[in-house]
Amino acid sequence: MILFSGLYNLGIAIYYFAITLSAWAGKVKARLWKQGRYQWPVRMHVAIPPGTPLIWVHAASLGEFEQGRPVLEALRSHYPSYKILLTFFSPSGYEVRKDYQGADYIFYLPLDTRRNARIFLDIAQPRLALFIKYEFWYHFLTALHARNIPTLLVSGIFRPQQVFFKWYGGLFRQLLERLTHIFVQDDRSLQLLTSAGIKNVSRSGDTRFDRVWALRNEKRTLPLIEQFCTGKHILVAGSTWPEDEQLLAACWSQMLPDMALILAPHEVHTTRIDQLMAMFPQAQRYTRLAAGEALHSNVLIIDNVGMLSALYHYAMITYVGGGFGKEGIHNILEPATYGKPVLFGPIFDKFPEAPALIAVGGGFIVKDAASLLRILQLFVQDTTAWNTAAQAAAAYVEAGQGATGKVLTYIAEKRFLSNP
C-alpha cells in the first residue's frame, strides 16, 4: 500500500504540473481549473459555519451533476435541516452550475492529496458523502473511511477493462471496499463487482432516467426556436464534435427542402463556431437571431450553453454527438424522454443505454453520411415508422425510472441523516 500511495502521489503531482503548464500556455480550462482552486481552504472556512449539518455531493463534470441531480434534490427535500455542499472536478461542470440554487455551497474539488483531503473534511464535516458515477479519489475515500463518514457511489458503471478487474488491481479494489455502498446502473456492473469479491453493492438503475423524465414536465419554451421551427421538419443535433458535423454537412445538401437543422456543438468557443459557419455557410447564429437579426436560414447554430435539453423538445428527429470519438456518445436519454427517435455514431460501448435503446426501436446507429441520410428521409416520409420509434424512445425512459427512490430508501433505512 505504501508503494501504491507513493506512485499515486507522483501521478497527482505530474497531473498538477501538466495543468499548470497548460494554464501558462493559455488553455482556458486549465486556467479555470487553477483559478477555481485558489485559496480554497480560506473560502470554504468563510462560507461554511462550523458545525453545519451537511451533505456532500461530488460530480466530476456537468454530465455527472445532471445524473446525480435527482438524488441531490430529493435529499434537499427530505432533509431540509441539512445544507448541501456540491463539488466539481472539471470547469465544464463548475462554470455552468456555480450559481445552481439547489446547493448551499459550491466549490471545485481540491487536488487529491492527503493534506487537502484532511483540510477539506475538517472544514466540511459532512454527515454523508455521495460520489456520482465514477469518481474514485484515493485520499478523499481513505479519509472518509477513516472518519466513518457514510460514503455512497451513485449510478456507478463498471466494465471488464477497468483496472479494478485486472490481476494487478487488488489495491484499486480496496478503494471500492472503502465505500459504504455502491449503487450500480446495470446487471453487468453488479456481476463484475460481486465476482471480484465486492459485497457492498446493489443494482439501483440509472438516476439519469429520473432526471430526464422530469424534463418533460418543465415545459421550457424558447420563442425564437419556435419561430425557427414553424412549418419545418426539425433535426436537432446536440453535443456534436467535428466528426459528427462533417457527417451532417456531407448529407445536408441532399435533404428535403422543408428539413431544418439546429446544431448545438459540445464546445462553443469562437474557433469552433467559426468552423461550423465555414461548414454551413448559409447558417445563422442563435445569438445574432436573439440580437434582432432577421431569420434567413434553415440551419441554426447554437453558440451558447444551457439550452440543449429544451431544444430536443422541438425536434422531429435527434442526433447525439460523440459516437465517432474515443470517449463515445453523449446523453441520448434527454432526446428520448421527449419521444424523439435518437441517432448516434457507432462508438458507445461505455453506455449500456445505447444498445438498449436500439433494441426497443428508439435508437439508430449512423455509420456514415449515406446511412444518416437514409434514416432521416425514412422518418420524414414514413409517419408510421416515425411514430413507432418515437413511442419506443419515450417508453424506454419511462420504464427506467426509480433509481433515486432506491438510494433515498437505503439512506433512510440506515439512518445516516437523523435530525441534527
**Residues designated catalytic:** 64
What are the start-end ranges of the H helices in 296-382? 308-311, 333-337, 353-360, 369-381
Place of cell 473560502: 43
- Residue 388: half-sphere exposure toward Cβ, Cα within 13 Å: 11
> Could you give the 3-state DSSP secondary structure of residue 151?
strand
Q: Which among 349, 258, 330, 336 is positioned nearest to 298, based on CA atoms?
A: 258
Give the 3-state secondary structure percentages of the chain, helix then strand then coil, rounded to 5: 50, 15, 35
Residue 14: CB atoms within 10 A of its CB come to: 10
Going along 89-221, which residue ranges are E strands?
Answer: 105-108, 128-132, 151-156, 181-184, 201-203
One-character DSSP codes across 198-218: --SEEE---HHHHHHHHHHHH
Query: C-alpha 329: how far from its chain's center?
Result: 11
**Rounded Cα–Cα distance for residues 51 and 69 (Å):** 25
